[in-house]
């Protein structure tokens, strides 16, 4: 399925805007600050999570608006079975996400039944040099596209961990029965999270290995930091209570894992590669994953590529466009210059300025 119509109300820089698009390439051009990335962020909210910027819902509402916002989309498919989905937050409850599917209230997790979305943004250029939490979030989105239940296990694990941390911090001591119950929940959902990550690493690694050599650097993937070992997670949690209480946080579990990426050709960790090489590695991972999802599910993910073409030479731009066209999916791309997208061919082309997106 693809987004054939997108309506924004009081979202970021858009008081009220409606865009229509075709099934293939959608090119958004305009000056810096015109609102191109805001459109991509709105689309990214059509799946579970906080979107490509990962900020609080209240930050997405238009600054001089009445409070709250809405993003609505019509999803079309080759079979003609259209679906209406939408999300947003009200001024009265700015941090409570609301979701509707074909007019009925739904949980955010239900969005993954209709769309799988992957994105690359300039902020992700620092993925390999910043904290491990960003790499986990990035990879968990990849896992979610292959295993929709991953989000449920990750959310339940995080909730149980927060409750355990709070319980361990109580000066009078934690209730042993309640603590044991929380740790049992962490062990159950944490094992599911770790196993799903390992399956995705293995499958994506095989896909990357099978990808013919081309203009994008080939990445090697592995998980470091904490990994499931001979000792079950439940036993690790029980053994680390005193240490975790002293630290004020849980020190074992899948939330302490880290995605390790290497440049296979150079046998060098990604964080030691040049900025251009890191971008090429990241792009190669996302493209291979999109192909893997299409192969496994029969439903290629929708791609949001923010300012990607501007950082590629003409050879790599042409190779990127060819590879994207072969995926037969909707691809939203942004750039400041229309010349960057001359090699795409047929596309929905929109010019963005002052909260308005018009056909270019």
Give the pLDDT band of residue 217 (cuts 50, 70, 90): confident
pLDDT of residue 216: 79
Q: Domains in the chain, please, with CATH? A: 1-116+300-360 (3.40.50.300), 127-298 (1.20.1050.90)
Quick one: how many helices (H) and strands (E) in the chain?
Answer: 8, 15
pLDDT of 291 over the 80 cut: yes
Q: Which two tokens stand for residue 295?
A: 């192969």
Q: Which two tokens stand for residue 324?
A: 């994207």
pLDDT of 77 over the 90 cut: no
* 242 three-state secondary structure: helix
Mean pLDDT on 79-85: 86
Mean pLDDT on 143-152: 89
Q: CB within 8 A of 20, min separation 6: which ones?
A: 4, 5, 6, 348
Share of the chain above pLDDT 90, in %: 66
Looking at the DSSP bridge assignments, the partners of residue 76 are 2
pLDDT of residue 229: 82
Q: What is the pTM of this model?
A: 0.88
Largest CA distance in the chain: 68
d(CA 152, CA 144): 10
* Local structure of residue 217 (DSSP, 8 states): P
CB 332 within 8 A of CB 305: yes
Mean of all residue pLDDT scores within the chain: 91
d(CA 320, CA 102): 35
Q: Would you mind telling me the total number of residues written for the chain in this entry?
A: 360
Q: Which two tokens stand for residue 349?
A: 């082309």
Tell me which of 325 and 310 has the higher pLDDT.
325
Which of 327, 262, 322 is closest to 292 using CA atoms?
A: 327
Which of 98, 90, 111 is closest to 44 using CA atoms?
A: 111
Helix ranges restricted to H, the chain: 36-44, 132-146, 150-168, 176-210, 233-239, 241-247, 275-297, 314-327
Tell me which of 172 and 15 has the higher pLDDT.
15
Using one digit for the tens of pLDDT, what is the confidence trace for 183-206?
Answer: 999 999 999 999 999 999 999 999
Mean pLDDT on 319-340: 91
Mean pLDDT on 220-224: 91
């Amino acid at each position: 399925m693809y987004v054939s119509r997108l309506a924004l109300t009081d979202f970021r820089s858009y008081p009220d805007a409606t865009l229509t698009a075709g099934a293939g390439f959608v090119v958004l051009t305009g000056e810096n600050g015109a609102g191109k990335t805001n459109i991509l962020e709105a689309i990214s909210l059509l799946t579970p999570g906080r979107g490509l910027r990962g900020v609080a819902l209240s930050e997405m509402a238009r600054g001089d608006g009445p409070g709250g916002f809405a993003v609505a989309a019509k999803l079309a498919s080759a079979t003609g079975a259209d679906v209406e989905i939408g999300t947003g937050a009200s001024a009265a409850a700015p941090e409570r996400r609301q979701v509707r599917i074909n007019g009925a209230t739904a949980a955010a997790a239900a969005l993954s039944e209709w769309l799988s979305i992957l994105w690359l943004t300039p902020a992700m250029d620092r993925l390999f040099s910043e904290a491990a939490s960003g790499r986990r979030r990035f990879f968990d989105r990849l896992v979610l596209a292959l295993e929709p239940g991953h989000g449920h296990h990750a959310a339940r694990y995080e909730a149980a961990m927060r409750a355990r941390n709070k319980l361990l911090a109580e000066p009078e001591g934690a209730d042993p029965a309640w603590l044991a119950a929380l740790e049992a929940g962490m062990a159950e959902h944490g094992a599911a999270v770790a196993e799903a990550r390992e399956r995705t690493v293995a499958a994506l690694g095989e896909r990357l290995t099978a990808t013919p050599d081309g203009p994008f650097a080939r990445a090697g993937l592995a998980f470091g930091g904490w990994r499931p070992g001979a000792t079950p997670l439940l036993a690790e949690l029980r053994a680390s209570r005193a240490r975790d209480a002293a630290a004020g946080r849980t020190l074992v579990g899948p939330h302490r894992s880290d995605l390790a990426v290497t440049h296979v050709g150079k046998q060098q960790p990604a964080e030691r590669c040049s900025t251009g090489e890191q971008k090429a590695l990241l792009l190669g991972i996302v493209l291979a994953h999109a192909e893997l999802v299409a192969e496994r599910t029969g439903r290629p993910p929708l791609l949001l590529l923010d300012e990607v073409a501007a950082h590629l030479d003409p050879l790599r731009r042409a190779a990127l466009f060819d590879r994207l066209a072969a995926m037969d999916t909707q691809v939203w791309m942004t750039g400041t210059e229309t010349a960057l997208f001359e090699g795409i061919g047929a596309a929905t082309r929109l010019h963005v300025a002052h909260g308005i997106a018009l056909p270019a």
